[in-house]
Amino acid sequence: MPDAWTGRLIGTMHNKGITYEDLAKELGVSKPYISMILNGRRRPDGIRKRMETAVGDIVRRRERAEAEQGADAGGR
C-alpha cells in the first residue's frame, strides 16, 4: 500500500500539471520506476525528500519561465 505522502505528491503534481515523465526526467529515472515508487512497490531510501524537492524545482522553474514570458510580453 502506498504511503500517504505519495497521494499528496500526486495531488500536487496533478494541480501543477506535472507528469510522471516530467518527474522521471528531473530525477534521472524511468517513468515506470516513478510509478512503482508512487504506488508503493518500491521504497528507496530518501525518496520522499528527493521527489518532493524535484516537484518543487519543476514548479519553481515553470513559474519563473511564466513570469519571464509575462515580463517580455508586457514590455512590447
Q: What is the pLDDT of residue 76?
A: 57
* Cα separation, 61 vs 53, whole angstroms: 12
Q: Kindly report the pTM of this predicted structure.
A: 0.88
Domains annotated on the chain, with CATH: 4-74 (1.10.260)
* Cα separation, 22 vs 51, whole angstroms: 11
* Cα separation, 8 vs 25, whole angstroms: 20
Q: What is the pLDDT of residue 73?
A: 75
Q: What is the pLDDT of residue 71?
A: 82
* Cα separation, 55 vs 9, whole angstroms: 8
Radius of gyration of the chain from its Cα atoms, rounded to whole angstroms? 15
Binned average pLDDT, 10 residues per bin, the chain of 76 residues? 93 97 98 97 97 98 93 70
